[in-house]
A and B are shown apart, each in its own frame.
Chain A
């Protein structure tokens, strides 16, 4: 194994593979800044270029691009409140308020360093899990996967703010998100739900236009209403000075970063869950690990822990995603399904061969994740003080570019003009939610998890009837879900008593 690990490193450091990785990274850097097009779509667009490459070169190119897109997505999320790589929306919740308070550099430093730690943990998990992952993945059938999604939905309690009224609004938004996820053709019976006679809605609403509209448009409107730059009246000297503070924050809250990375790896391993789920679950975990209710109330207003958690999970899930893809040929996400195409183009068959005959190629992927993330973070850290100054540009100048980012990004997700209208409508809803103090995070969490929950519930019922509820792992997950729901109330009561 050690030999294969060293051989994998030597393969990635070969001139051809290394230079292709750098090309992929440059592309991923730009694409990561744009909402919508995202890592998965870029992988698909670049797939035709790998035909003439060797397997190591192809994976260095594709994985380098993919892993960088996940990191740079945090940059626009923090600076402008526009989720860059569509899934990095959870970083907006605390990252953008930090930028508004003149702490953009600190937030970016924290996001990048936690992303690096997350990526390294994800890569380590991939390296270590390859020989032992089979029993773990096979333990998780549809009932367990359903319970994991329910546990994710239960995180609404942590994303809703404190007090009965905030919880009421949070749960209502969570249910609305789950309801929105039911739009389109029901997968089992083929019935069209809430389609209003529009073919566009048969496939349901796409995540990107909804997400970008709900988070980015209210921020752009806020910028227009304030009539200032993003950082407002924050002192100019403060802007570029917080990078090291952000890096230190990662190590101040190191165990939180590690735990959120583990959440990312775990969610990455589960088929279909994807990065959005990982980020939100990590964010909810970060909020839950606040010392008391007062400490928790800082989340959503620019708490650095709300940046560290999602940042770490977003990158660690890449390693987790690769585990079932390599070991079984079961992709954990859309991007991995496309990567699976690259395996077939290269003449490789995921499964036992990748763990024996092609072990060096497998480890070259681990090294690509590590090296690409290290280079990206170093490059970004060098640029950060300058990037933070973008928050000083006058609102009137920057708004049209932000609107382009939002609408071009939404369009590139599906190439449908109707997505622009959905973005606008989601933006209007998001604006009203902010104005009337309804939390946005539970709606997104419900929307992300709704389809998965329904699918897994149906399979569980069809396969096991109600008996799946008595399976040992399901019972453990039910108990964990109850803890997730009850914990914030317990925490609030304890604070009141103190």
Chain B
């Protein structure tokens, strides 16, 4: 048996399909018809793909650098969402841009600060001044209101 990322992805897909189908069997016919019609062929196709992946040798390419950089971007994205939850968009936008440019992009701090201010200015002008778009306050900023 040959384990690979592709195999895990196909197996994950099969698992999702299997769960969906088993859940759909518990619903009345009307509600279950469409999910079953889609879920069963998905399960079959995903299982066929699992078998094909098992028979295929895994790719030998060195993915260490790509994996590290990809994980870093996902980390930054998760960090941005956390910032939005804690501080709300108006604060999260400039902080995120500054931190990314200064630490991940390794830009000079002055440039990072100028671009962060520009990002905040554009955001404020378009969404808050022009469109009056309602943004939720963050958990922390909510305490001060």
Contact = CB atoms under 8 A, between A and B. Distances in A.
A25 to B, nearest CB: 14
Contacts of A493: none
A420 interface: yes
A215 interface: no
A186 B31 CA distance: 6
Binding site secondary structure of chain A: helix
Interface in A219-270: 220-221, 224-225, 227
Contacts of A191: 27-28, 30-31
B87 interface: no
A454 B35 CA distance: 10
Interface stretch (A325-333, A347-355, A400-408): A400-408
A194 interface: yes
Nearest to B23: A194
B105 A224 contact: no
Interface in B4-45: 5-6, 9-10, 13, 16-17, 20, 23-24, 27-28, 30-31, 34-35, 38-39, 41-42, 45
Interface string A36-67: 01000010010000000000000000000000
Interface stretch (A6-14, A87-95, A176-184, A292-300): A176-184
Contact of A408 (B74, B89, B107): B89
Given A399-B100, A417-B85, A420-B84, A176 B107 contact: no
Interface in B45-79: 45-46, 48-49, 52, 65-66, 69-70, 72-74, 76-78
Interface stretch (A135-143, A167-175, A376-384, A479-487): A167-175
A417 B80 CA distance: 12
A404 B6 CA distance: 30
Interface stretch (A112-120, A312-320, A421-429): A421-429
A65 B81 CA distance: 31
Interface string B124-145: 0011001111111000000000
A22 to B, nearest CB: 16
Contact of B6 (A188, A408, A436): A436
A30 interface: yes
Contact of A171 (B9, B35, B41, B72): B41
A435 B69 CA distance: 14
Nearest to B77: A424
A176 B18 CA distance: 12
Nearest to B14: A172
Interface in A362-381: none
A252 B80 CA distance: 45
Given A168-B45, A168-B48, A421-B81, A227 B96 contact: no
B13 A176 contact: yes
B66 A225 contact: yes
B104 interface: yes
Contacts of A411: 84, 89, 135
Contact of B80 (A37, A182, A403, A458): A403
A165 B100 CA distance: 40
A30 B126 contact: yes
Contacts of B123: 404, 408
B106 interface: yes
A37 B77 CA distance: 20
A172 B69 contact: no
Interface residues of B, number: 61
Interface string B102-124: 00111100000001000100010
B77 A403 contact: yes
Given A168-B45, A182-B34, A415 B134 contact: yes
Contacts of B39: 175, 179
Contacts of B107: 396-397
A404 B80 CA distance: 9
B49 A169 contact: yes
Contact of A179 (B17, B52, B96, B115): B17
A404 B17 CA distance: 33
Given A172-B42, A191-B28, A436 B9 contact: yes
A88 B52 CA distance: 34
A432 interface: yes
A225 B101 contact: no
Q: Looking at A27, A176, A191, A433, which has the most chain B CB atoms within 10 Å of its CB?
A: A176
A397 B70 CA distance: 16
A438 B69 contact: no
Q: Looking at B23, B24, B38, B127, which has the most chain A CB atoms within 10 Å of its CB?
A: B38
Q: Looking at B20, B42, B119, B132, which has the most chain A CB atoms within 10 Å of its CB?
A: B42
B28 A399 contact: no
Contacts of B52: 165
A161 to B, nearest CB: 14
A217 B74 CA distance: 9
Closest 5 pairs between A and B when the two form their complex, measured CB to CB: A396-B105, A191-B31, A175-B42, A400-B100, A172-B45
Given A220-B73, A397-B115, A399-B73, 16 more contacts: A168-B48, A171-B41, A172-B46, A176-B16, A178-B34, A179-B17, A179-B35, A186-B31, A189-B30, A221-B74, A397-B107, A403-B80, A404-B93, A408-B93, A412-B133, A424-B81
Interface of B: 5-6, 9-10, 13, 16-17, 20, 23-24, 27-28, 30-31, 34-35, 38-39, 41-42, 45-46, 48-49, 52, 65-66, 69-70, 72-74, 76-78, 80-81, 84-85, 89, 93, 96-97, 100-101, 104-107, 115, 119, 123, 126-127, 130-136
24 contacts: A45-B133, A168-B48, A172-B49, A175-B39, A178-B38, A179-B35, A182-B38, A191-B30, A191-B31, A193-B23, A221-B69, A221-B73, A221-B74, A396-B105, A399-B105, A400-B76, A401-B119, A404-B97, A411-B84, A431-B70, A435-B5, A437-B6, A438-B9, A446-B38
